[in-house]
Structure formats: C-alpha cells, structure tokens
C-alpha cells in the first residue's frame, strides 16, 4: 500500500483520538445557565431590591411638572401680498425699467417666521427680561399648592433680597446670563406645527401650573406684538422711501405704481393696528393644568427594578464564566 493510500486512514485515526468534550464545551448549555442563575438567585434578588428601592426613592423625590398648552391657528393675512402680486403682474416690466422691484408677490410665510422668532435668542432674552421670570426659570425648587407660591433654592437665589448666590467659575456670574437662561427656556417650551391642519401648539412645562399657563399666554401675546411691530416699522419705512421716489420721477405710470405701493403699505399698517391677534389666532387658550405631566413615577420604578434584575443576572453569569 502506498503512502498516499495510508494518509486518509491516519487523518481519521487522529480525528477519532480528539476528545468529544472539546466540541461540546464550545456550546452554551441553556440549562446550565438557568442553573447558574438559580444558584445565584439570592444575589440577584438583593441587587434587584437595591435598585427597586433606589428607583422608588428617586421617583418620590422628583417634583411634579405641570404642562400648559394653547392651540393656535395662523391668522389669514396676506397683508399686502395679494396687492403686490397684482401689481407685479400688471406693472412688473415697467417697474423694472424704472429700477423698482415688486418681487414675485409671494412673501415669506409669517407663521413659520413667527415660530422661528419665538425660538430665537433675542426673543427669549427680551421675554425673560420683560416679564422678570429669571428666578422662576433658573432657581425654582418647589411649588406650594396651598398658597400657589414658589420656593426657591436658597443656594442659588435669595428671594428676600432679590440676590443671586450661585457659586460658579468664570466667565459665569452668580446671576445667570441670557445664554444660560436661553438653554433652560428651550427645554421647557415646545412649539409644534401640524403639517395637515397647520395648527400650532405652544406648550410650557413648569413646577407651578399657574406659571406655566401665564407663560403660554405671554408668549402668544408677545409674538403677535413683535411680528406686528416689525411689519408696521417696515411698512412705514417703505412709505417714506416710496414718497421720496415719487418726488424724483415725472412719469405718470411710475407715479401710479408708487401710489399703489403706498396704498398697500397703508393697508398693512391699518390691518396691524386693528388686530391684536396678528399672526396667531387663539383656538384653545392655555388653562391651568390640574394634573401633572411628569414624572412617570410608576414607569421609573418598573424600569429601575428591571435594570436591577438584569444587572444582577449579568453579574452572576460573569462570575460563573470567570471561575469556569
């Protein structure tokens, strides 16, 4: 018999000499794992109990947060946009020859602009300073239901002396800056738009339900006023510019266009002056909430208990495999 014929036989004999346990040991026996977990059940129960108690204590110590919200509808106001569109279609060529740009007639969506303005740093800073809500925003600790008052953190703010006591490192100061206040305010306010109905929901979360409701009302009033003042100021500047252009031209058609533009800007000013709800109309005003929106204490306890049981089981299995 040749060496080539003897080679397979030798390989088979070598494979038969390998211990069968080496293959079986590579496989995980579920029964063995359950047995290990059962042996370490008291350790797992202890870890689970610690986490459960910790979760309960954490949930109890969390203050109630109340959420107030208002439902708004965009005010249907073209505010001169339709008139400008008609002028652009009728006199666009003539106006361009005279160096006057009537635009495409489609202005910026004032609802989207108002939402972005409401989220801006400038609007937030003005809102906080105008209504003096910095202590309620940055130092509120507890809401007293009996007398509807706020208790402040003594380590941060002294209400009697209206003095900030924070201990912070430079460049921060004891009194929170508007940048810090903006970050905090952005977490408690939410502005959502329904894409189908275009309805806008403004909501505020706070320890005090009355403060949450008051802030929502102030936000609606302030954003309407800010957008109104912007349009009125822009319209007055446009009128002043158009009047100066009228004095510089003798072409009757151009003067006609300019007078029509002044008329459209005058309509914008009139519309703004007669309507308080300039950008948003209140459909469902903000109410003082009677029930908290968070924390979900039951959910916190359940998740804490589950985390404890999972961690305890993992520790038992890790200890078993290390010993093995």
Over its length of 324 residues, how does the chain's per-residue pLDDT go in tens digits? 444 444 444 444 444 444 444 444 545 577 878 888 888 889 999 999 999 999 999 999 888 999 999 999 998 644 444 455 455 555 555 455 444 555 544 456 788 899 999 999 999 999 999 999 999 999 999 999 888 899 999 899 998 888 998 888 888 899 999 999 999 999 999 999 988 888 999 999 999 999 999 999 999 999 999 999 998 888 888 888 888 888 888 878 788 888 888 888 888 888 888 888 889 999 999 999 988 988 888 999 999 999 999 998 899 888 888 887
Cβ distance 128 to 178 under 8 Å?
yes
Which are the contacts of 74, defined by CB distance < 8 A and separation ≥ 6? Answer: 110, 111, 198, 200, 279, 280, 281
The CATH class, in words, for 66-292 is alpha beta
Whole-model pTM? 0.74
Q: Where are the domains of the chain?
A: 33-62+295-324, 66-292
């Amino acid at each position: 018999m040749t060496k080539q014929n003897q080679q397979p036989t030798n390989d088979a004999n070598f494979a038969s000499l390998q211990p069968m346990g080496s293959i079986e040991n590579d496989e995980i026996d579920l029964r063995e794992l359950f047995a290990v977990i059962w042996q370490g059940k008291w350790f797992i129960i202890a870890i689970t109990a610690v986490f459960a108690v910790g979760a309960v204590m954490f949930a109890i110590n969390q203050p109630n947060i109340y959420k107030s919200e208002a439902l708004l509808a965009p005010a249907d106001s073209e505010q001169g946009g339709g008139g400008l569109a008609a002028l652009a279609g009728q006199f666009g060529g003539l106006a361009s020859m005279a160096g006057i740009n009537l635009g495409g007639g489609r202005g910026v969506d004032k609802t989207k602009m108002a939402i972005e303005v409401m989220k801006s740093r400038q609007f937030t800073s003005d809102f906080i300073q105008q209504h003096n809500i910095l202590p309620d925003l940055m130092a509120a600790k507890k809401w007293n239901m009996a007398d509807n008052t706020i208790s402040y953190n003594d380590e941060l703010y002294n209400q009697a002396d209206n003095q900030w006591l924070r201990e912070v490192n430079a460049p921060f100061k004891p009194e929170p800056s508007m940048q810090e206040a903006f970050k905090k305010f952005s977490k408690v306010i939410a502005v959502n738009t329904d894409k189908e109905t275009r309805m806008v929901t403004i909501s505020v979360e706070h320890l005090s339900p009355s403060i949450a409701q008051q802030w929502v009302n102030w936000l609606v009033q302030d954003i309407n006023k800010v957008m109104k003042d912007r349009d009125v100021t822009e319209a007055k500047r446009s009128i002043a510019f158009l009047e100066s252009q009228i004095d510089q031209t003798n072409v009757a058609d151009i003067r006609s266009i300019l007078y029509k533009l002044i008329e459209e800007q005058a309509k914008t000013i009139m519309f703004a002056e007669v309507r308080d709800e300039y950008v948003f109309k209140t459909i469902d005003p903000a109410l003082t909430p009677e029930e908290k929106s968070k924390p979900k204490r039951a959910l916190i306890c359940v998740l804490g208990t589950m985390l404890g049981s999972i961690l305890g089981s993992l520790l038992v299995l890790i200890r078993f495999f290390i010993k093995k």
